[in-house]
């Protein structure tokens, strides 16, 4: 009776919305608003013959930089609208590499969502049926849906195109939903004891492949006239985060001079009189702004005018400088270390629970900061401040992160692995969230053999590895006492190594992913990826890059 009443109430709401004049129709653009990431563009246009509307989007600026752009169309719903009653619509799009994100946003800002590839809907009109039961809690507010605020249909990715919607309404309660129920998909064998593939433990670590380090050496010596920075994927892009990781890998392997080539570049890119806003330089007209996420390998400039000076990358660079100091007991980089630390401290913003470090300059220095805190980058900042002895500030960030992330099972995988690497053994249980969940953990046949690894987000339908994440999870397990599980995942990485001839030398490398699914159309499988290789070296050396001493 209760369910029938709720469905009747929602049906009444839908009928009211649909019948109270043209401006109240779900298919009318006047009842929808739009929003977008800076650098992305969206238009919405009614199409009478469709009895619906089309959304034209342009996310192509993100084809030139890390991350993914987004646009969104949103519609307010009454608070009493029942999220358990399925909504239906039909959708059609052109061939696209972007994703559709269906979001229910409640009155206190909790976002529940489902991400699906737009390519699923590129040939014919497709009817979708969904309710809150098919969505996962993503972020904001809390994990309870507390009354409707908005329905949002977002497009995220790196290309441009169009998508059309029509025939909005309420589905029949007996209609089959288009998606599986939300929430974890727990492996029935997740807690088996012992060793082997099913139990996901190895008793011995396979020795590190020495030709992996050789790849980094050859790449550094051949990619620029200065022989300092490395391109991320045998291309013309030098990423700050990836080079910070490689500098740490060189230090770990005793390659001090090679690490110094990278660290010296950033140390010397601190001209206070610099007036070139595109140049990879810490200052612009005397103002401290930090370093871009990525620049051109040859010119060392943000030639595309889209790069961020993201605080997370600068925190990792600060960690790399602290690792040099820790290893060699040297104050060689004391000045740049202090500059990075003070810039990040200046970005601190108090919050109801602790506080966080704000984003930094964005989109080619068009905007300072983002409207909310970024958990991944703040884990980086926590680790950097702790290593710098800024324990009080680090504690405030940790308080904010604990409140923000809690035990949410639907985060990106590095928000589990990095928390353990940064916070220590007391957080080891968080590794079981992605490790037990088959939305994260995948078994894929590679060269005729099964390999177990992780995708970067929870998605049961995607069969791909984010190989950085395999290395991160291996390091995290080893760091918190789960070494046999860590050995297992470190050894899985060996199955993904490929041999190639590069600059007339035989080297071994690891790609970024194993296929293009899940938004990785840009990956070149004939090239190694330097962050993935750094995480391989960290894992094989049982190294925690966010704490160093494992304590």
401-442 pLDDT, tens digit per residue, is: 999 998 999 999 999 999 999 999 999 999 999 999 999 999
pLDDT digits over 468-517, tens only? 999 999 999 999 999 999 999 999 999 999 999 999 999 999 999 999 99
Please tell me which residue, 193 or 519, carries the higher pLDDT value.
Answer: 193
- In percent, the amount of the chain with pLDDT more than 90 equals 82
* Class of the CATH-defined domain 237-404: mainly alpha
DSSP 487-532: HHHHHHHHTT-EEEEETTEEEEE--SBSSSTTT-TT--TTS--HHH
Hey, what CATH topology would domain 2-170 get? Jelly Rolls (2.60.120)
3-state DSSP assignment of residue 348 = strand
Residue 413 neighbours by CB distance under 10 Å: 26
Q: Which of 237, 267, 500, 506 has its CA nearest to residue 259?
A: 267
- Residue-wise pLDDT for 40-92, tens only, equals 999 999 887 777 899 999 998 887 677 788 999 999 988 888 999 999 999 99
For residues 256, 262, 266, 271, the Cα torsion angle rounded to the nearest 10 degrees is 90
The end-to-end CA distance of the chain, in Å, is 57
The residue ranges of every structural domain in the chain are 2-170, 183-222+407-551, 237-404
As a whole number of angstroms, the distance between CA 288 and CA 299 comes to 21
pLDDT at 551 over 50: no
3-class SS of residue 250? helix
Q: 22 exposed, middle or buried (CB, 10 Å; 0-12, 13-18, 19+)?
A: exposed
pLDDT at 550: 52
**Rounded Cα–Cα distance for residues 141 and 209 (Å):** 46
Q: What is the mean pLDDT of residues 173-191?
A: 93
Give the residue-averaged pLDDT of 344-363.
Answer: 97
Average pLDDT for 193-205: 98
Q: What is the pLDDT of residue 342?
A: 99
**Cα separation, 343 vs 430, whole angstroms:** 31
SS3 454: strand
Structure tokens at 106: 């409640």
Provide, for the chain, the percentages of residues in helix, strand and coil under a 3-state DSSP scheme, each rounded to the nearest 5.
35, 25, 40
Output DSSP code: residue 235: S
Report DSSP state, residue 233: S
Stretch 439-467: mean pLDDT: 97
pTM of the complete model beyond 0.95: no
């Amino acid at each position: 009776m209760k369910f029938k009443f709720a469905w009747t109430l929602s049906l009444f709401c839908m009928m009211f919305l649909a019948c109270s004049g043209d401006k109240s129709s779900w298919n009318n653009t006047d009842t929808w608003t739009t929003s977008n990431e800076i650098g992305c563009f969206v238009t919405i246009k009614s199409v009478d013959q469709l009895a619906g509307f089309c959304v034209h989007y342009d996310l192509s600026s993100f084809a030139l930089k890390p991350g993914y752009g987004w646009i969104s169309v949103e519609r307010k719903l009454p608070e009493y609208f029942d999220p358990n009653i399925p909504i239906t619509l039909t959708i059609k799009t052109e061939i696209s590499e972007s994703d559709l994100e269906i979001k229910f946003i409640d009155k206190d800002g909790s976002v529940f969502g489902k991400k699906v590839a737009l390519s699923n809907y590129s040939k014919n009109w497709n009817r979708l049926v969904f309710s809150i039961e098919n969505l996962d809690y993503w972020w904001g507010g809390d994990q309870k849906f507390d009354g409707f605020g908005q329905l949002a249909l977002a497009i995220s990715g790196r290309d441009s195109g169009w998508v059309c919607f029509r025939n909005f309404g309420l589905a029949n309660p007996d209609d089959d939903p288009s998606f599986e129920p939300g929430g974890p998909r727990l492996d029935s064998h997740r807690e088996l004891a012992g060793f082997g593939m099913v139990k996901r433990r190895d008793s011995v670590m396979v020795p590190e492949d020495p030709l992996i380090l050789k790849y980094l050496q050859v790449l550094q010596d051949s990619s620029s006239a200065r022989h300092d920075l490395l391109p991320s994927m045998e291309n013309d892009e030098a990423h700050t985060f990836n080079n910070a990781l490689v500098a740490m890998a060189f230090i770990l392997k005793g390659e001090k001079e090679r690490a110094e080539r990278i660290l010296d570049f950033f140390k010397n890119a601190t001209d206070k009189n610099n007036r070139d806003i595109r140049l990879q330089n810490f200052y612009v007209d005397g103002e401290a702004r930090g370093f871009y996420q990525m620049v051109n390998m040859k010119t060392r400039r943000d030639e595309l005018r889209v790069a961020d000076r993201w605080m997370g990358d600068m925190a990792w660079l600060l960690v790399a400088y602290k690792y040099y100091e820790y290893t060699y007991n040297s104050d060689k980089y004391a000045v740049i270390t202090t500059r990075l630390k003070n810039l990040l401290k200046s970005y601190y913003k108090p919050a109801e629970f602790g506080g966080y470090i704000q984003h930094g300059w964005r989109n080619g220095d068009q905007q300072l900061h983002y409207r909310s805190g970024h958990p991944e980058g703040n884990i980086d900042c926590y680790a950097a401040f702790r290593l710098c002895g800024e324990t009080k500030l680090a504690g405030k960030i940790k308080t904010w992160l604990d409140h923000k992330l809690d035990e949410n099972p639907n985060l990106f995988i590095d928000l589990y692995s990095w928390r353990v690497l940064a916070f220590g053994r007391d957080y080891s249980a968080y590794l079981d969230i992605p490790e037990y969940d088959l939305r994260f953990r995948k078994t894929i046949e590679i060269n005729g053999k099964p390999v177990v690894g992780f995708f970067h987000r929870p998605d049961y339908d995607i069969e791909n590895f984010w190989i950085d994440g395999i290395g991160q999870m291996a390091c995290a397990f080893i760091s918190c006492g789960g070494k046999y599980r860590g050995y297992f995942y470190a050894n899985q990485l060996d199955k993904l190594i490929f041999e190639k001839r590069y600059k007339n030398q035989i080297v071994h490398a690891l790609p970024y992913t194993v296929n293009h699914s899940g938004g990785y159309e840009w990956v070149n499988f004939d090239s190694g990826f330097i962050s993935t290789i750094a995480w391989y070296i960290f894992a094989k050396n049982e190294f925690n890059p966010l704490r160093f001493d494992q304590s």
